[in-house]
């Protein structure tokens, strides 16, 4: 009987481990490493491929540089896709902002993306609503209308902090990143504002529900995933470099206090974000590497709740197997 119980326990443990999504990791941050980790996923980008990144606010130096990502974009024959921000940086420098298509195109050109790739601002001309499974806060997701031009998405995220979400990774890139200006307002207000009204957006009436905002991000992220899974597919890659506590959407971010770590990739966005958070939690404080401010920001904004809620609604798993592709 004891042998039978032991065998059953071993079988259960093996099945659990097998069911866990894999998160691939390399400590190398290079164009070649991005291609290598993409190939490690074993999922080929097919059809009309969108590569979703943040092109970065005009004076923000931390965005993923075109020279770093170009070999991956060439490999998948992709188009860089973005959406406009809902608001200006507050710095008063229109040339550095991305809240209008005209300004955004100037930043995209200045940051060098047009030297290498076709680029598409998905909400430049229109927006569409796509369904959400979880309607706790939002009833649909409002995304850039050009999303309909693509069959497959490579979600290429820069992992870092974020003033409102606590951190920015795959889930934020899927949700806020793919949302139109109105869609961003809808998510930030946890479903209270369907059309952007800058006079009301940051009032307590509309942004007083922090957990509702985070839950709305998870629901919107799931909507985008569902959209592409009904097409040809979607994969997720996150680069852990230049990790300020501020997002790439902040015009003048706080200084970087963390050393660059590497690149992670998965077919599960929840596992990917959780792995990045776990890596930050394991960092030791040294003279050159201090995760304290980033961890404090994540805690202050309850950022982990986005991941918790994403798992709760069935978007992915917080349990994962970390697989190094480095020899």
The predicted structure's pLDDT at residue 2:
53
| Pairwise CA distance, residues 213 & 200, whole Å | 16
Considering the chain, what is the average pLDDT of its residues? 93
DSSP classification of residue 179: B
The predicted structure's pLDDT at residue 96:
76
pLDDT at 209 > cutoff 70: yes
pLDDT at 188 > cutoff 70: yes
Are residues 245 and 220 in contact, defined by beta-carbon separation less than 8 angstroms? no
C-beta atoms surrounding 207 within 10 Å: 19
**pLDDT band per the 50, 70, 90 thresholds, residue 38:** very high
Q: Of 60, 249, 80, which is closest to residue 165 (Cα–Cα)?
A: 249
| Pairwise CA distance, residues 205 & 228, whole Å | 34
DSSP 3-state of 265 = strand
Backbone angles phi, psi at 56, to 5 degrees: 80, 140
Q: What contacts 7, CB < 8 A, 6 or more positions away?
A: none
The predicted structure's pLDDT at residue 15:
43
Class of domain 21-324: alpha beta
Q: In the beta sheet, which residues pair with residue 144? A: 127
pLDDT at 14 > cutoff 50: no
Cα–Cα distance list, 286 to 239, 278, 289, 306 (Å): 22, 18, 5, 29
| Pairwise CA distance, residues 260 & 270, whole Å | 21
Q: What is the pLDDT of residues 248-287, one digit of tens each?
A: 999 899 999 999 999 999 999 999 999 999 999 999 999 9
DSSP 3-state of 14 = helix
DSSP classification of residue 50: E
Percent helix, strand, coil in the chain, to 5, is 40, 20, 40
Are residues 66 and 117 in contact, defined by beta-carbon separation less than 8 angstroms? yes
DSSP classification of residue 311: H
Q: What's the whole-number mean pLDDT along residues 170-185? A: 98
DSSP 3-state of 24 = strand
With 0-12 / 13-18 / 19 or more C-beta atoms within 10 angstroms meaning exposed / middle / buried, residue 115 is exposed
Q: What's the whole-number mean pLDDT along residues 44-61? A: 96
**pLDDT band per the 50, 70, 90 thresholds, residue 58:** very high
DSSP 3-state of 19 = helix
pLDDT at 31 > cutoff 60: yes
Q: Of 31, 47, 44, 50, which is closest to residue 119 (Cα–Cα)?
A: 50
């Amino acid at each position: 009987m004891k042998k039978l119980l032991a065998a059953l326990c071993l079988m259960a443990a093996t099945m659990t481990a097998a069911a866990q999504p894999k998160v691939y990791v390399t400590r190398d941050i290079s164009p070649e490493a991005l291609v290598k980790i993409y190939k490690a996923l074993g999922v080929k980008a097919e059809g009309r491929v969108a590569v979703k990144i943040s092109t970065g606010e005009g004076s923000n130096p931390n965005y993923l540089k075109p020279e770093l990502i170009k070999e991956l974009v060439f490999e998948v024959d992709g188009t860089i896709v973005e959406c406009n921000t809902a608001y200006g940086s507050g710095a008063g420098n229109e040339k550095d902002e991305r809240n209008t298509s005209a300004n955004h195109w100037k930043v995209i050109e200045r940051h060098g993306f047009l030297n290498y790739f076709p680029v598409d601002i998905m909400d430049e001309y229109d927006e569409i609503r796509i369904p959400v499974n979880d309607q706790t806060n939002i009833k649909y997701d409002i995304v850039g209308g050009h999303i309909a031009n693509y069959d497959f998405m490579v979600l290429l995220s820069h992992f870092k902090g974020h003033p409102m979400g606590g951190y920015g990774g795959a889930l934020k890139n899927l949700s806020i990143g793919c949302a139109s200006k109105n869609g961003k307002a809808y998510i930030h207000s946890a479903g209270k504002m369907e059309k952007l009204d800058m006079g009301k957006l940051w009032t307590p009436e509309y942004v007083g529900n922090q957990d509702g905002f985070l839950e709305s991000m998870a629901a919107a992220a799931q909507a985008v995933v569902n959209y592409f899974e009904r097409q040809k597919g979607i994969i997720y890659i996150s680069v852990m470099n230049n990790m300020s506590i501020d997002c790439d959407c902040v015009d003048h971010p706080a200084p970087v206090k963390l050393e660059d770590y590497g690149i992670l990739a998965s077919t599960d966005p929840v596992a990917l974000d959780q792995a990045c958070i776990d890596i930050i939690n394991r960092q030791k404080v040294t003279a050159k590497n201090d995760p304290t401010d980033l961890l404090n920001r994540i805690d202050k904004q309850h950022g982990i709740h986005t991941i918790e809620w994403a798992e709760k609604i069935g978007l992915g798993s917080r349990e994962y197997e970390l697989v190094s592709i480095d020899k």
